Chain A
């Protein structure tokens, strides 16, 4: 039984893995439908807000960030802008136009953090977009170590 000590070591490693950062969302934002414009100007953007919750583990010297990306591109002339609030000590990247490339929403999240914030999604459409029938896009929010 020369490997008898191994299970304990592996379980210890597994326990450390479980204690990692997490991000959850309670649901989806309400539908974003552009319906109006100031005459002579581009259509008026519409917004919807939801919450997001994050926890970070305790290891010293670590910080984290939240990124967002679309899983599929948007129609031409249409964009979705995301803005996330940040806890004290962290930094919101402000209004980010989402794409299929992950972009930082919030950075410099501290360790041992338990925070619930707001993400506001804004739909922006130019007249060039034309009429766009109802459709959906998934936004993937990821929390990972930073930098």
Chain B
């Protein structure tokens, strides 16, 4: 049996507000199911994407520019890109509770994903690329 390269690509765009994370996770859950990830890897991906989006929301400022989340199945991996279009800013306006525990997001992304890349977009903004290897036989 040969496996064709069923590369799908889907995306959603959300407002830069942490109240949107719930909706982003439903999107991740849906693409993870399409890519045949098990429940453990789906959870990992939901956490990693939420962390990236929470950072993106912080960069987006107020009134914020939207955050785009794009999922693609390619090369035996499910790859998710999170793009914000704000300038990178050090978190200074966070409330006390948020300020106390900065910096857990990136270590969690690295611990949970097979690959994490962070790039600065030329027009301003940040692109985080997260990827997980698909179980064999991979869909794409």
Q: Do A and B originate from a single complex?
A: no
A residues near B (Cβ < 8 Å) are none
B residues near A (Cβ < 8 Å) are none
